[in-house]
Amino acid sequence: MDASFWAPAITISIVSLTVGTVIVLRGPVGKALGQWITGWSHTEQRWIEAKAAPAEVAELRAEVDELRHQLAEVQERLDFTERLLAKQRDVERLGNPRA
């Protein structure tokens, strides 16, 4: 099969896909898609307009710092617990000659 056989099939496929896409996008799906895309710019605009007060930003930063400190403590406790469990397993293995 040569290129002259596939050329019309490819052309018809591309034209069909293009026409189908136009029909779908001109209907309710296209309108919904357009509104969704328009919402992107409105969402960004809302973030720009909603500027937080400096006191609120300072309060949020302090809260984030406190959460980071708590997370670091929890991680230290987890590491300690894992070391204890590993040590206990090593002792159990040494005490049992079949393991």
pLDDT digits (tens, 9 = 90+) for 54-77: 788 889 999 999 999 999 999 999
Task: Kindly calculate the radius of gyration of the chain based on its CA atoms and give it in whole angstroms.
Answer: 32
Is the model's pLDDT at 25 over the cut of 60? yes
In the structure, what pLDDT confidence band is assigned to residue 96 with cuts at 50, 70 and 90?
A: low
pLDDT of residue 78: 95
Q: CA–CA separation, 58 vs 50, rounded Å?
A: 16
Global model pTM greater than 0.75? no
Domain boundaries, the chain: 1-51, 52-99
Mean pLDDT of the region 43-55: 64
Q: CA–CA separation, 55 vs 46, rounded Å?
A: 20
